[in-house]
Amino acid sequence: MEKGAVCIIGAGISGLTCARTLADRGYRVTVFEKSRGVGGRMSTRRTDDGVQFDHGAPYFTVQGERFHSQVKHWISDGVVQPWEAKIVELYQGRADQEGRRVERYVAVPGMNGICRHLARGLDVRFNTRVAPPARDGDTWLVRDEGGAELGRFATVLISAPAPQSTALLKAAPLLVKRSERVRMAPSWAVMAAFREPLGLAYDAAFIHASPLTWIAKNSGKPGRPPSPETWVLQATPAWTGEQLEKEADWVTDRLLAAFRVSTGCGSGETSFSAAHLWRHAVPPEPHPGPFMLDEKRRIGACGDWCGGPRVEGAFLSGALLAERLCELA
């Protein structure tokens, strides 16, 4: 069944949910992704020695019924597991048990597991950085940033973070007016593997009075190799904002020092450490609607910056955009 060719830019959870939903309903979908794998901000980074880190979203939670039912499917498909972690609040060495009771989930064997699952059987083209699509008669002409033609499509859907979507939506000024209002906060993340177990009595912590906001023992999550002991440290948006142009090694040193102060773990020699800057980590105030769509010209956008931040919001945004498109057909 041919329902017109759809181009989706971005292979994070919103773009792949949108692509999966449309492909399951008979659309011919091509996904273009600038990096070399799926996941976006739910990526899993692997070192040359095969040590892995969830350096973006460390876990996700579930609020609504629709996402709850999807997560149940992913659990039975073996790509998600509950994360029953011991989580504390850390005030410069003093640890208090987390006050709330929250159910947390992780994808397995890494956070990119859900996106890999969604991408199965889809036409996903990696290492392809798409330039702003141009209108050509009744179709969208899509090129990469080097000017090479990637194809002509009846519909273009963009699932990049808000500032990148704004640039890609150049040919849809009405949508740009809305997307350009959405700011995204940055976050430095440090990945560290330790030579010896640290012996900390918790799996993760919210941090106070520190450049760090969150730390998690990656190797303690379900489905991950327990050794070597690995941690991911996440800086606050405010600290990151002040250190945006710093070298990654400088950031690694500072955040490891902050980790040692907060955990009281003075020694702890690392066998690997690296920093990653998420320039567009989370949208503090997302656009109120769950997606954007110019129904006449068939160009739209989805992502966590539409409707609701975080993994659940991104999933819903991609699913609802695809469903709206199906209603139009």
Ligand X SMILES: Cc1cc2nc3c(=O)[nH]c(=O)nc-3n(C[C@H](O)[C@H](O)[C@H](O)COP(=O)(O)OP(=O)(O)OC[C@H]3O[C@@H](n4cnc5c(N)ncnc54)[C@H](O)[C@@H]3O)c2cc1C
By the rule CB under 6 A, 278 interacts with ligand X: yes
State which residue, 144 or 294, has the beta carbon closest to ligand X.
Answer: 144
DSSP letter for each residue of 233-290: EEE-HHHHHHTTTS-HHHHHHHHHHHHHHHHT-----EEEEEEEEEEEEE-SS-BSSS
Q: How far is the CB of 181 from ligand X (least distance, A)?
A: 17
Binding ligand X (rule: CB under 6 A), the pick from 53, 60, 194, 231 is 60
By the rule CB under 6 A, 71 interacts with ligand X: no
By the rule CB under 6 A, 166 interacts with ligand X: no
Q: In the structure encoding, which two tokens stand for residue 210, read together?
A: 């520190």
State which residue, 101 or 296, has the beta carbon closest to ligand X.
Answer: 101
Binding ligand X (rule: CB under 6 A), the pick from 5, 142, 282, 322 is 282
Binding ligand X (rule: CB under 6 A), the pick from 7, 14, 19, 162 is 14
Binding residue count for ligand X, defined by CB under 6 A: 38
Stretch that binds ligand X, among 12-20, 78-86, 261-269, 319-327 (CB under 6 A): 12-20
By the rule CB under 6 A, 240 interacts with ligand X: no
By the rule CB under 6 A, 130 interacts with ligand X: yes
Q: How many CB atoms lie within 10 A of CB 264?
A: 12
x-or-dash pattern for ligand X, window 82-121, by CB under 6 A?
A: ----------------------------------------
Q: How many CB atoms lie within 10 A of CB 46?
A: 13
By the rule CB under 6 A, 133 interacts with ligand X: no
DSSP letter for each residue of 180-194: TT---EEEEEEEEEE
Residue 121 to residues 4, 16, 124, Cα–Cα distance (Å): 18, 11, 9
Type of residue numbered 73 = H
DSSP letter for each residue of 119-183: HTTSEEE-S--BPPPEEETTEEEEEBTTS-EEEEESEEEE-S-HHHHHHHTTT-HHHHHHHTT--
204: DSSP letter? E
How far, in Å, CA of 154 to CA of 135, rounded?
Answer: 10
Query: Contact 239/189 with Cβ under 8 angstroms?
Result: no
Q: How far is the CB of 56 from ligand X (least distance, A)?
A: 4
By the rule CB under 6 A, 186 interacts with ligand X: no
Tokens 């091509």 label which residue? 30
By the rule CB under 6 A, 58 interacts with ligand X: yes
By the rule CB under 6 A, 160 interacts with ligand X: yes
State which residue, 171 or 197, has the beta carbon closest to ligand X.
Answer: 171
Query: Contact 119/16 with Cβ under 8 angstroms?
Result: yes
By the rule CB under 6 A, 205 interacts with ligand X: no
Binding ligand X (rule: CB under 6 A), the pick from 129, 135, 170, 195 is 129
Binding ligand X (rule: CB under 6 A), the pick from 5, 7, 15, 298 is 15
Q: In the structure encoding, which two tokens stand for residue 235, read together?
A: 């800086």
Please report, as ranges, the residues that interact with ligand X according to CB under 6 A.
Answer: 9-15, 32-35, 40-42, 56-60, 129-130, 159-161, 164, 168, 187, 189, 234, 278, 281-282, 303-304, 309-311, 314
